[in-house]
Structures are given as structure tokens and as C-alpha cells.
Amino acid sequence: MTGRRTTVLGLAVALVVGGATYVGVTGSTADARPVAGTGCPTFPADNWWHADVRHLPVNKHSRAWLSHMHTGLDLHPDFGPSYGDGPDYGIPITVVGGTHAKVRVHFRYSSESDHVRYPLGADTRIEGGRRSDGDRHAIVVDRSTCRLYETYATRKRDGRWYAGSGAVWSLTSNALRPDGWTSADAAGLPILPGLLRWNEVRNGDVDHAIRFTTDITSRHHLWPARHDAGSRQRLTYPPMGARFRLRASYHPKGFGKAARAVVHAMKTYGLVLADNGSPWYFQGEQNRHWPSRMIEELKRIPARKFVAVDTSSLRVSRDSGATRQPPAS
């Protein structure tokens, strides 16, 4: 890959992308679920996205954060069949091979973007379509290198590719972006590991936290988030990277198998605040197989049944997404 090299440093890996260095502890990929159509894990099994948060303490700011998060609402699955937004909306995932052509991308937030060539082309699926006035995220996985490319506000004009920002990760590494850098998400995190994907929900095997949004956030971020884009200085508003767990006492009465799998993931891995947007909207991949019944059932989960958890005890290094798991109680 142009402009990128990997250097092994004992138990750490330093990734150099377009002149920026990402240092993170490596992790085992055992049992990490692969991205469909690839043999690549969605980051190592010990990555923060896969951490079990059932036994973590409630965050001391939980009550204050939730007081600014419209807890009178129910959750909204921001994917699947919707009469208002089309039959199968969501964030699409494009898988390419190693021979796919790579192109230069011109970035609005150039100083915080990874300046490598991206495997974008006529086959690249863009959120909402190429004429959308929305976020237009593009998520591309190169199955030959297990590299993840993500861009925001993606468009092609006069033969050139443009984006608001762009970020690249190795799916086999726990390395984080430089602190203070955005990604295709306001939190500076990858989007892919927080998306619900149909194959894992169908199999009842969701093994990660789920990305979600709220409308008013603070100008702070919590590890492993690297960036924030809030409008409030006070810590009483939720920061990017905050993690919320569905209470164990919540009972999904009448839910089918697919919806129960999502509820189980929300209790086990939780939700991750990753961007500003509509309150309690959580994201999944664009896939025509999402069942209408499941989508309607998930709209009945009340926001008031969540608490924020303190994930600080999981941290191994401030520059790595690797975690240590607390003993079960």
C-alpha cells in the first residue's frame, strides 16, 4: 500500500500512514468474527469493541449524561426497511480484492486524514447513494490486506474523488489514530465494527458494541475515541466514546430471535456514542435481508433502560484499543 508501512516493536505495532504514526498493542484474532466476504477479523478479539461490559461499574456521570439525552424516547434502528427512507437503507460495506485500482482523494479536513490511495471506483457503495445530501459514508475492506478504508461526505466530481475526511486501519491491529484526529466519524473511531450486520444477527452471534448518535454532546472524548465535535463544554453532557449498557432487567417481551440477538448485544457489549445526530439512532449495514418485523420490534426498546458504564479499567494503553477483561462477578 502506498505510503504505509508496519513495524513490529516488541508487543506493539507502529503503523505509519501518510506520515502519521499509530502505535497500538497487538491482539489475538482468535474468535473475532470475520467481515462477510473476507477472512479478516473486525479487529482483534481483545479490542475494545468486543469487550464484555456486563460487569463494569456504572459511570459516575451516567445520570447527568442521560439527563441530556432524551430518555423519554425509544431507540430507532437507522437501517433496514423503512417507508420513509426506502426499502433497505443503512451504511453499505464494499469488499474489494488486492488488484482493485486505488485513487487519490481530496479531503476537506486534510490535516486529520490519512493520505494514501483509496480503493474507490464504480463499485463503491456510498451511504444514501451518490446524489445524497446526507453523510455519504463509504466503507471499503480490502480482503487481501485486511485494510479498512472509511470516508465521510464521499463524492466524485469531474473525474476526481473528494471527501470530508478519510481514515485507514489494519483490521488485525489495535492501533488507534493520533489523539485529536477525526475519522469518518466524529469520535475518530472506525464505523465498521459498530455496525450491526445481517449475517451475525441472523446467526444470533453479535460480538461487539453498536454505534449510535445523539444530538447534543460535550467537547470531550473518552478512550478509545480520539476526537469530538460537541457544542457543550460541560462534562454533564455525553462525550464521544461514552458507552451505554442496556439493563439486564429489561425483558424483550414478544421479540423474535433476530431482535433478541440485538438486545443481548446491547446488554453484553452496549452502545457507543460515535457521532452527533438524531437521539438514540443506532446503525447497521445496508442489506436487503433485514426483516421488517425485527426493525419494528427494535423500535420498542426504551432509552430509559440504559446506563453509562465506566470502561477505564479495560485500558491497557492510551494509544491502543486492546483491553483487559475484568473478572466476572
- The per-type count for the chain, helices as H runs and strands as E runs, is 4, 18
Q: What is the pTM of this model?
A: 0.89
pLDDT computed for residue 29 by the predictor = 40
Neighbours of 122 (CB within 10 A): 6
pLDDT computed for residue 70 by the predictor = 98
Element of type H or E holding 200: helix 198-202
Cis peptide before 178 (omega within 30 of 0): no
Distance CA 241, CA 245 (A): 13
pLDDT computed for residue 87 by the predictor = 66
Nearest Cα residue to 151 out of 128, 200, 185: 185
Indicate if the pLDDT at residue 259 is higher than 50: yes
Spacing of C-alpha 89 from chain mean position: 17
Write the pLDDT tens digit of every residue in 114-158.
Answer: 999 999 999 999 999 888 888 999 999 999 999 999 999 999 999
Helix, strand, or coil (residue 15) = strand
Name the pLDDT band for 86 (thresholds 50, 70, 90). low
Distance CA 177, CA 288 (A): 33
Indicate if the pLDDT at residue 14 is higher than 60: no
pLDDT computed for residue 269 by the predictor = 98
Q: Going by DSSP bridges, is the β-strand pair 105-107/160-163 parallel, antiparallel, or unpaired?
A: parallel
DSSP code at position 106: E
Question: Do residues 259 and 250 touch, judged by C-beta distance below 8 A?
Answer: no
Nearest Cα residue to 180 out of 228, 223, 224, 217: 228
Distances 171 to 28, 253, 274, 285 between C-alpha atoms, Å: 11, 36, 19, 18
**Burial readout 297-315 (b: 16 or more C-beta within 10 A, e: otherwise):** bbeebebebbbbbbbeebb
Average pLDDT of the chain, as a whole number: 90
pLDDT computed for residue 85 by the predictor = 60
- What percentage of the chain exceeds 70 in pLDDT? 88
Nearest Cα residue to 283 out of 273, 291, 293: 273
Question: Do residues 103 and 121 touch, judged by C-beta distance below 8 A?
Answer: yes
Nearest Cα residue to 248 out of 306, 308, 296: 306
Question: Do residues 149 and 188 touch, judged by C-beta distance below 8 A?
Answer: no
Write the pLDDT tens digit of every residue in 66-80.
Answer: 999 999 999 999 999
Indicate if the pLDDT at residue 10 is higher than 80: no
Poorest-pLDDT segment among 81-85, 123-127, 149-153, 278-282: 81-85
- Please identify which residue in the block is written with the cell numbers 513490529: 8
DSSP code at position 114: -
Cβ-proximal residues to 274 (8 Å cutoff; 6+ apart), any chain: 185, 186, 187, 189, 191, 194, 211, 212, 213, 225, 240, 241
Indicate if the pLDDT at residue 18 is higher than 60: no
pLDDT computed for residue 33 by the predictor = 79
pLDDT computed for residue 237 by the predictor = 98
Distance CA 92, CA 127 (A): 6
